[in-house]
Structure 1
């Protein structure tokens, strides 16, 4: 999973806190807004032949999680559907008998700049 660090967000968050805005909800909204285009691009890929549509339907954005004070979300196969579409990981990373046909990493790379911009814009909206 790729990692991204944003600079200057602390200033915006401090200003939001001083205004009494529910920062936590705004942070969650910013993360989800930024993840949507990545999910849509992953679903739209032609990297896999998904005749049943199960893999596309199983791609989801998780709820916001927090680890060591850092909020994050994951985009990928919903754990409740994992047993039905376990093959998604083989497509993404390949096997000893099959080359990788990644669909999540390219979607992230395509939207990397948009992710930063979307998070910043969503947080700025909260300042209004």
Structure 2
């Protein structure tokens, strides 16, 4: 039998009513701010859980023309970024926590044919879910109040 986790958060109904009073455009602006804040909190949790080595991160290789090229991708932790995505529907908001050019993060998280998986992002996400939801909730409320005051709504 699988363990079940029940999370109860209060205040979402009030936020929903407030968003409806703001209208779709202002509600989307408030949502973008809140989702960005939640994604930022998630990225901080993932950064804290990301393993970091102390070895040199630059690599050199030769191109087909024989030119020597040196590339430095940096550490995984340095590449973690939050970017806003393009939603598929109007008035939706998408934020993405990405590892940027640290393509090897996928190998570590999911494993390869020759290496077992050593997940760090998924456990960090699971541990941070309540923190992220609270951050979204408080940021959404603050954004709604700020926009309502600025545009004379509510």
1:73 matches 2:95 = yes
Query: Which of 12, 37, 52 is the matching residue for 2:15?
Result: 12
1:92 and 1:124 map into 2 onto residues whose CA distance is 35
* Contact 1:35/1:115 (<8 A) preserved: yes
TM-score of the aligned structures, taking structure 1 as reference length: 0.72
* Contact 2:30/2:144 (<8 A) preserved: no
How many angstroms does 1:109 deviate by?
Answer: 0.8
Unaligned runs of 5+ in 2: 1-8, 58-73, 146-154
TM-score of the aligned structures, taking structure 2 as reference length: 0.62
How many angstroms does 1:11 deviate by?
Answer: 5.5
Greater displacement, 6-15 / 88-97: 6-15
1:59 and 1:43 map into 2 onto residues whose CA distance is 7
* Contact 2:28/2:93 (<8 A) preserved: no
Q: Identify the residue that residue 30 of structure 1 maps to in structure 2.
A: 34
Q: Secondary structure at the match of 1:124?
A: helix
Structure with higher Rg: it is: 2
2:144 and 2:50 map into 1 onto residues whose CA distance is 40
Q: Identify the residue that residue 3 of structure 1 maps to in structure 2.
A: none
1:125 matches 2:142 = yes
1:106 matches 2:109 = no
CA-based RMSD of the aligned residues comes to: 2.8
Q: Deviations over 1:12-54 (max 9, x none)?
A: 2442352468222211111111112221222222545363343
2:110 and 2:79 map into 1 onto residues whose CA distance is 17
Change (3 A) 1:16 1:107: same
